[in-house]
Structure 1
């Protein structure tokens, strides 16, 4: 079983309370299951609020699963995007090969819900975390864990810590290739080969493949950005062919900005027999696709409209209420940096009959500019729907998120409450 479905289902039995932002007080003291049995509507919730559109989410899930399957690659979506076990379960049920995480704590949360196959897209040199991985792997042989290494020093530190753990459990590692001015990762193939050689000499590590993150090298689809990504992925493919693996090999890349380029360079490696006849598994780690957005990913993803025949749709929206109209061309909304993402673009007002844009966010307020507006436009108490950019920094502000049937409805029905773990 890819995830413990009973542990996920048990989330419906958790009690609701004032710690759940936006939830109506009428829900306090009731379980999720009990509250949903009353068929609540979005208008019953307080603002500010973040909601998830079930119709868009379901469509996005199918679009990406079909896209990866058609290319012959596996999908291990980045679970840190949502940190929502119910969504991990849906992704795994839709065919995902595993779930990716960025920190050992996130991996531990995943294991508490029984996720069986995990990619830690980072190096793990924390001694407490390494001991936990070794002991968890020994206790549960079905648990498949792989993490990254990007230097000879990283290999030495990992091996030293693991040798202090009783037993002979070996941790599978992927050599991470980076690029100039990028994030982590060996900067050249020569350095990466030296890392792989160090892994082969290590007592408690096993070489499992190569990988990295092309999204650290570009932030747009200009020719300069695309050339940087193309070059990087070509280097990653070459590195894979230069190494020997004791078992099956993993080649992994792919955020949500350039998955098409990843497929162009790496999909052909899928199931390829290496130097010793070992099969190759190509793993795409895109995470934002499930929620998508109305900002950064809408502008760059190859699966966004109008670039795709079956486009992804934004499944998240902010809802904020006008609390002040101190000037004719200014409204203050009750949602700010503590409620909505702003690192990849400010929220965008939707479904208004007047021109409007958000110029700034404070901790708990949004400055909504209304050029040419009259004092009577958008009166105090009006609820505004907001398009958002970047699901990673939207979800991390909420511990419980209502899922609604249709964000375009006049008063959407709440069909689920999504627990997150941040």
Structure 2
């Protein structure tokens, strides 16, 4: 993305990053807090790292766009080799279509006739998930009412007991596939699943649970004969076999990767497609602990690209500080923000305050406040600018209409970065 040169034109009316128009770069300490920043050097590192790993593993990638809902970032992923983009709702699918994404995996379902008619418009192939015969009948009837002129390609989702959506048994999934073949306005384009709904653990028992599910998913695919996909193949599509979030994509490649055959050398044209999304920004806690690259020997590492900046607005007790950031600005569903460092402005300029947040921790969030527990000797002071790391990017980014870009590269020692531009989101 080329940094925008006019901040006032770049920002919507609801922007949280409000400031007087002037050329980039803008010193970070001159912006009102809170501010969410994304390090573009790290962003590109993560995108390139995942693209290279998928290429070497011999599979495709359709990263989950809901993580950022930022077409600028999607384009970076596509430019790096991603086959498509995954979305979760009909609205997100339309954002992707308008952004010019050619291949869209819609990991969800809509019954709206108007939304379905948009999905089948020429320009993009949107592959929607279905997991029941009832769903097939309702969607087919809606397309019939709308006089659809193109069939909607669908992926039959296989789930598992205790999971999220998805047919619960092989027989149920096969019945859904048969219903799709009999439908007038649907075409079977492949099978889908999501192993991350079964567990968040990385212990041996959790990994075995994932492996068992993936074995069932490949069995489902094997019980569908080649004729099941003839119509889709005749339309120029490739059969899609997709799974893989951000925690177990290595297990998915091990279990399903041998089926990747987009040229049809070994049979019908087939693409094994991962849908990992959170890797693009990574984080400081949840995915830092769970990423497969922590389990793969000699693997490259993702780096956290997002930082949340807040000010110390109160220190009413020696061991308590309040920051002007809260649930409206950051996720707390998978862990609280993590204090990284602090900066202080004086007549001599802005300087990092070594040790200011050492042994300090965020203990709770209100709507607009973060409670920080401090050791008695802490030097953190009112007015200090604090850099926070986040846990779970998906439920942090969705609180922002715009993300300020920096090009810090996680350099050490750190100087306070400047804002070089803005990336807009479409939530």
Q: Please, what TM-score do these two structures have when normalized by structure 2? A: 0.89
Contact 1:171 1:206 in 2 (8 A): yes
Instruction: Work out the CA distance in 2 between the residues paired with 1:101 and 1:10.
Output: 30
In structure 2, what is the Cα distance between the partners aligned to 1:285 and 1:174? 14
1-side partners of 2:309 and 2:143: how far apart?
48
Aligned to 1:130: 116
Aligned to 2:382: 380
Contact 1:253 1:262 in 2 (8 A): yes
Q: Is the 8 A contact 1:124 1:148 kept in 2?
A: no
Question: Is this contact kept in 1: 2:117–2:148, CA < 8 A?
Answer: no
For residue 171 of structure 2, what is the aligned residue in structure 1?
190
**Structure 1 counterpart of 2:347:** none
The equivalent position to 2:418 in structure 1, one of 388, 409, 413, is 413
Task: Judge conservation of contact 1:88–1:99 (CA < 8 Å) in 2.
Answer: yes
Aligned-residue Cα RMSD (Å) equals 2.4
Counterpart pick for 1:271 among 261, 265, 277: 261
Identify which range, 237-246 or 298-307, moves more after superposition: 298-307
1:393 aligns with 2:403: no
CA separation of 1:305 and 1:186: change in aligned 2, threshold 3 A? closer
Q: Find out whether 1:297 has 2:287 as its counterpart.
A: yes
**Which residue of structure 2 aligns with residue 371 of structure 1?**
375
CA distance in 1, matches of 2:239, 2:6: 36
Q: 1:333 to 1:96 in 2, by over 3 A?
A: same
User: Does the 8 Å CA contact 1:174/1:207 hold for their aligned counterparts?
Assistant: yes
Compared CA separation, residues 380 and 259, structure 1 to 2 (3 A) = same
Question: What residue ranges of structure 1 are gaps of 5+ in the alignment?
Answer: 28-34
Q: Distance in 1 between matches of 2:376 and 2:7?
A: 48
Please give the secondary structure, in 2, of the residue aligned with 1:122.
Answer: coil
Pair 1:15–1:68, CA change in 2 (3 A): closer
Measured in 2, the distance between the counterparts of 1:394 and 1:90 equals 20
Deviation digits for residues 217-260 of structure 1 (CA, Å, limit 9, x no counterpart): 01120222211111111111111111132123110001101110
Mapping 1:316-327, distance limit 5 Å: 316-327=306-317
SS at match of 2:282: coil
Please give the per-residue CA displacement for 1:43-91, whole angstroms capped at 9, x wherever unaligned.
2211111110112111101100000001111110001110001001111
CA distance in 1, matches of 2:296, 2:312: 33
Per-residue deviation, 1:273: 8.7
For residue 298 of structure 1, give the secondary structure of its aligned residue in structure 2.
helix
Query: Is the CA contact (8 Å cut-off) linking 2:5 and 2:24 kept in structure 1?
Result: no
Match for residue 364 of structure 2 among 360, 365, 372: 360
Looking at structure 2, the residues matched to 275 and 187 of structure 1 have their Cα atoms a distance apart, in angstroms, of: 32
Give SS of 2:253's match.
Answer: helix
Whole-angstrom CA distance in 1 between matches of 2:82 and 2:55: 10
**Equivalent residue, structure 2, for 1:310:** 300
1:158 maps to 139
How far residue 166 of structure 1 moved from its aligned partner, in angstroms, is: 2.1
Deviations 1:129-166 (A, max 9, x none): 112223xx2xx2x4211111100000000111111122
Q: What's 1:404 paired with?
A: 406
CA distance, structure 2, for counterparts of residue 180 and residue 126 of structure 1: 28
Extract structure 1 runs of 4+ deviating beyond 4 A.
8-13, 272-276, 304-308
CA gap of 1:88–1:175, structure 2 versus 1, over 3 A, is same
Please tell me whether residue 21 in structure 1 is matched to residue 16 in structure 2: yes
Provide the secondary structure at the position in 1 that maps to 2:301: coil
Aligned mates of 2:147, 2:169 — CA distance in 1: 35
SS at match of 2:108: strand
- Within 2, Cα distance between the matches of 1:275 and 1:38? 51
Distance in 2 (alpha carbons) for counterparts of 1:256 and 1:164: 38
Cα contact 1:336–1:365 (8 A) shared by 2 = yes
Alpha carbons 2:245, 2:277 under 8 Å: kept = yes
Q: Does the 8 Å CA contact 2:59/2:272 hold for their aligned counterparts?
A: yes
Give the aligned length.
401
